[in-house]
């Protein structure tokens, strides 16, 4: 059953550096269903995977080429019950998580993904990291990702965008249509090709979908198409600011970020819907 998980309204990715050890020790233990890499499943209380109230969700990235938030040797604290002793589990031992939101009982799914990258010439190769991320959309092609916001002590937080990965249910690998690892000032002109090729990788088993993507690429080269996309994004941003004025000040940023993020996710879902509509 296809479903869109509205966790974007619950989470705000804040890369806030310099958190003290004391503050981390106050993080709550969250009830989860854990699937390990060996296939075993267990219900436990886990700390630092999910933080309620959109306080902070640090996307779990295990990455060799640079400093990452979580490394393979990172250990997470957990309990079997509230009264039991604290134990530890390695990041490398985690495959999937189902997080029970104790505020509204919704279950949020996380999955560890092996990542590939695609070039503008449609050459697919491995990346050297994996990620454990929430499912934003579940269908024949899943979307995984998180909101990316930059926070400083002087200016507060600024929403930058939503980092997304896509994976066909028949595949063992996910791919980034907007590959921030590879983006630079010098290759901006090839981003459209990489975007389309990423979706071709995810839905390449369907000729009708490939035909749709070729047509989409042509549209993306149109100045009118780009102008409309920028205007739509601006309109959503302005609407979010106006709507957030009725909220308490502390809640406004999270509301604005969540609404802008949903707009970006819907762009991906619209493309995936073409695959689901035309492909077995």
Residues 20-46 have pLDDT tens digits of 333 445 577 888 889 999 999 998 998
CA-nearest of 23, 25, 28 to 82 is: 28
What's the mean pLDDT in 230-247?
A: 96
Beta bridge partners of 133: 111
Cβ-contact 209, 203 below 8 angstroms = yes
User: Does the pLDDT at position 201 exceed 90?
Assistant: yes
Enter the pTM of the model: 0.78
Please report, for the chain, the start and end positions of each structural domain, with discontinuous segments joined by +. 3-278
Helices vs strands, H then E, count in the chain: 5, 12
Tokens of 16: 């806030």
Whole-number mean pLDDT of the chain?
A: 79
**40-74 tens-digit pLDDT:** 999 899 887 643 333 333 344 433 344 344 556 67
């Amino acid at each position: 059953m296809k479903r869109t998980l509205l966790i974007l309204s619950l989470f705000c990715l804040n890369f806030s550096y310099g958190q003290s050890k004391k503050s981390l020790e106050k993080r709550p233990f969250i009830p989860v269903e854990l699937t390990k890499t060996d296939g075993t499943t267990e219900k436990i209380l886990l700390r630092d995977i999910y933080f309620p109230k959109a306080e902070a969700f640090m996307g779990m990235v295990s990455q060799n080429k640079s400093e990452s938030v979580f490394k393979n040797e990172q250990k997470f604290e957990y309990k079997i019950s509230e009264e039991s002793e604290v134990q530890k589990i390695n990041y490398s031992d985690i495959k999937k998580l189902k997080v029970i939101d104790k505020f509204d009982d919704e279950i949020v799914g996380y999955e560890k993904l092996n990542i590939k990258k695609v070039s503008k010439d449609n050459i697919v190769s491995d990346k050297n990291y994996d990620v454990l991320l929430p499912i934003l959309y579940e269908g024949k092609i899943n979307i995984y990702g998180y909101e990316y916001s930059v926070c400083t002590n002087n200016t507060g937080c600024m929403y930058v965008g939503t980092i997304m990965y896509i994976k066909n249910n028949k595949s063992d690998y996910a791919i980034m249509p907007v590959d921030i690892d590879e983006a630079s000032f010098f290759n901006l002109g090839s981003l459209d090709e990489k975007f389309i090729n990423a979706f071709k990788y995810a839905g390449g088993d369907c000729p009708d979908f490939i035909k749709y993507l070729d047509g989409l690429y042509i549209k993306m080269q149109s100045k009118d198409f780009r102008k409309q996309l920028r205007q739509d994004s601006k309109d959503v941003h302005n609407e979010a600011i106006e709507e957030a004025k009725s909220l308490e000040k502390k809640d406004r940023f999270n509301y604005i970020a969540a609404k802008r993020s949903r707009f970006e996710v819907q762009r991906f879902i619209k493309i995936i819907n073409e695959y689901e509509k035309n492909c077995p």
